[in-house]
């Protein structure tokens, strides 16, 4: 440990407010690295002192301190944030559609950007060959590499960590990350002119939260798959939603449904920061994809296996123009999606946006640090949740703090 701990890192880490994006390591690569913590999350480890400039820079961009979005003339939905248009669709390549998380729209957009030479490389997250349940950041240069990294991986990722090395090249990149990664990168553009030039496209996906590696280990345990025998692990995909699938050294596979793996296990291992995240829908990206689940007669999402469909939200004019060019090139089929139907198929995102204020109030009432959110309509959303749900979440968060269970 260094003589002087960064005040921002101390507040964020002690308050369990770190999302694990890697922004701190990006802006201070000689002083901070990202490492897996004992609890199984990616967390910054400080090895030397931050300069006053770095400390202020970190304080302005760290998602554990603040996240801000503004409509800037766009429609601004209280739940879904600023957007230009919403679509549902899928990759026209049936193999990509099947391999991907939802309908493969996100990967199809990336392949189009590479093939049309709009960008040189994609910065994205894929499986870590040395730790099959884990992630690593990869630079994809062609469609085959994008295909290999398609699919959601419900485990920690810190795609901003290696940013400085990319900024020192003269290449153009598309960046794919969790909403908090994209939010931090967008905020960093105010401090470093190189970022907008090197990263013309920021893409994201709806994000309910990052589980610790401990979650994946419970899945392996239930599957009867010893970790040292596992050579590959998919969290989903290969169908929609697809199965969590462990491949063992002897070539056999063990599978668990999405409802059991995400719903029954992984969602219970999500880090605290994600429970107070109003930006799980990627408000600061150019284009955001998600699951366009179908709803049953009660309005709840159906997780039965079927051909995948991505929800595609264009958040900027640039994102909408990109989607139009991908559709014109025949790589994605897309049709208009009515935002009125989104709350029913994304109940987790709806609830979180409405209950964030109550949870933040509990943190503040206990004298704990809390991130500052601007532009997320927290009061309006809290009113929509009703008194009972707000009281339950306020008291539930107070209890977690008392019990030391953040
Ligand atoms: C942690 C997490 C939480 C999610 N929560 C929701 C949710 O609440 N609602 C919902 O509708 N969908 C959720 N998803 C699914 C996500 O929305 C789908 O990836 C999205 O539907 C896009 O599908 P696609 O087929 O178009 O994407 P794909 O073509 O499959 O592309 C997925 C992209 O995501 C990247 N990626 C995968 N895992 C990670 C990761 N851990 N960190 C950074 N990048 C990653 C891949 O590199 C790839 O570029 C979540 C995914 C993750 C990883
Ligand atoms: S949220 Fe991101 S920038 Fe902030 S401390 Fe964690 S890893 Fe660093
Ligand atoms: S829920 Fe929010 S804070 Fe958590 S990983 Fe997703 S975007 Fe980041």
Whether 210 contacts 308, CB under 8 Å: no
Residues 41-62 have pLDDT tens digits of 999 999 999 999 999 999 999 9
What residue owns the CA closest to ligand 1's atom 21? 290
Ligand 1 atom index nearest CA of 156: 41
Q: Which residues line ligand 2 (CB under 6 A)?
A: 9, 12, 18-24, 44, 62-64, 184
- Whether residue 277 has its Cβ less than 6 Å from ligand 3: yes
Dihedrals phi, psi of 231, to nearest 5 degrees: -105, -20
> For residue 282, how far is its CA from the centre of ligand 3 (angstroms)?
9
Nearest bound ligand to the CA of residue 62: 2
| CA 374 – ligand 1 centroid, Å | 25
Residue 164, classed as helix, strand or coil, is helix
Ligand nearest to the CA of 20: 2
Give the pLDDT score at 299: 66
| pLDDT reported for residue 2 | 47
Tell the residue nearest (CA) to atom 18 of ligand 1.
290
Contact predicate 171/114, CB 8 Å: no
Alpha carbon nearest to ligand 1 atom 34, residue: 152
Helix, strand, or coil here: 368? coil
d(CA 237, CA 152): 7
pLDDT of residue 1: 52
**Two tokens at 91?**
């990759």
Rounded to an integer, what distance in angstroms lies between the CA atom of residue 145 and that of residue 91? 16
What is the rounded CA–CA span in Å between residue 164 and residue 194?
Answer: 10
Which ligand is the nearest neighbour of the Cα of 27?
2
pTM of the complete model beyond 0.95: yes
Residue 377, C-beta contacts closer than 8 angstroms, at least 6 positions apart: 76, 78, 79, 353
Instruction: Indicate which residue's Cα is closest to atom 8 of ligand 2.
Output: 24
Predicted pLDDT at 295: 79
Which residue's CA is the nearest one to ligand 1's atom 41? 153
Mean pLDDT, consecutive 10-residue stretches, the chain (406 aa), reads 83 98 98 98 97 98 98 97 98 98 98 98 98 98 98 98 97 98 98 98 98 98 98 96 97 96 97 98 98 80 90 98 98 96 93 97 97 98 97 97 89
Q: What is the pLDDT of residue 3?
A: 62
Q: Which of 131, 146, 152, 283 to mutate to test the pocket of ligand 1 (most atoms within 8 A of CB)?
A: 152
- What fold characterizes domain 76-211+269-345? 3.40.640
Locate the domains of the chain by residue range: 76-211+269-345, 213-268
Peptide bond into 298 cis (omega under 30): no
Distance 188 CA to ligand 2 centre (A): 12
Pocket test for ligand 1, best of 102, 156, 205, 277 (most atoms within 8 A of CB): 205
**Ligand 1, residues at Cβ distance < 6 Å:** 100-107, 124-126, 135, 149-155, 157, 159, 176-178, 205-208, 210, 280, 289-291, 308, 310, 346, 348-349
**Residues 191-250 pLDDT 10s:** 999 999 999 999 999 999 999 999 999 999 999 999 999 999 999 989 999 999 999 999
Closest listed residue to residue 301, CA positions, set 333, 255, 349: 349
What atom in ligand 1 is closest to the CA of residue 155?
41
């Amino acid at each position: 440990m260094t003589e002087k701990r960064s005040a921002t890192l101390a507040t964020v880490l002690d308050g369990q407010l770190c999302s694990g994006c890697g922004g701190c390591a990006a802006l201070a690569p000689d002083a901070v690295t990202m490492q897996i913590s004992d609890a199984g999350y990616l967390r910054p480890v400080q090895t030397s002192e931050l300069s006053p400039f770095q400390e202020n820079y970190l304080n302005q961009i760290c998602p554990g301190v603040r996240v801000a979005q503004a409509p800037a003339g766009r429609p601004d939905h209280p739940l879904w944030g600023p957007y230009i248009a919403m679509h549902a669709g899928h990759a026209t390549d049936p193999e990509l559609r099947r391999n991907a998380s939802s309908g493969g729209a996100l990967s199809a957009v990336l392949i189009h950007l590479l093939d049309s030479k709009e960008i040189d490389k994609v910065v994205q997250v894929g499986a870590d060959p040395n730790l099959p349940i884990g992630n690593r950041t990869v630079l994809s240069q062609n469609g085959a590499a994008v295909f290999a990294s398609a699919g959601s991986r419900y485990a920690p990722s810190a795609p901003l960590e290696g940013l400085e090395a990319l900024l020192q090249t003269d290449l153009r990149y598309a960046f794919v990350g969790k909403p908090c990664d994209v939010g931090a990168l967008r905020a960093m553009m105010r401090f470093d002119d190189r970022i907008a030039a090197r990263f013309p496209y920021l893409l994201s996906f709806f994000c309910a939260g990052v589980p610790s590696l401990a979650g994946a280990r419970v899945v392996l345990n239930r599957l009867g798959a010893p970790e040292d025998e596992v050579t590959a692990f998919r969290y989903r995909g290969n169908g929609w939603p697809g199965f969590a699938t462990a491949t063992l050294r002897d070539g056999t596979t063990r599978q668990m449904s999405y409802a059991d793996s995400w719903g029954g296990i992984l969602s219970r291992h999500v880090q605290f920061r994600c429970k107070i995240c109003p930006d799980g829908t990627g408000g600061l990206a150019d284009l955001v994809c998600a699951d366009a689940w179908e709803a049953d007669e009660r309005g709840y999402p159906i997780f039965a296996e079927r051909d995948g469909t991505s929800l595609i939200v264009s958040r900027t004019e640039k994102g909408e123009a990109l989607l139009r060019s991908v559709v014109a090139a025949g790589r994605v089929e897309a049709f208009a999606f009515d935002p009125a139907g989104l709350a029913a198929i994304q109940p987790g995102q709806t609830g979180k946006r409405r209950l964030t204020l109550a949870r933040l109030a509990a943190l503040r009432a206990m004298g704990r640090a809390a991130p500052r959110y601007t532009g997320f309509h927290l009061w309006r959303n809290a009113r929509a949740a009703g008194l009972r749900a707000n009281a339950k979440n306020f008291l539930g968060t107070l209890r977690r703090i008392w019990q030391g269970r953040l």
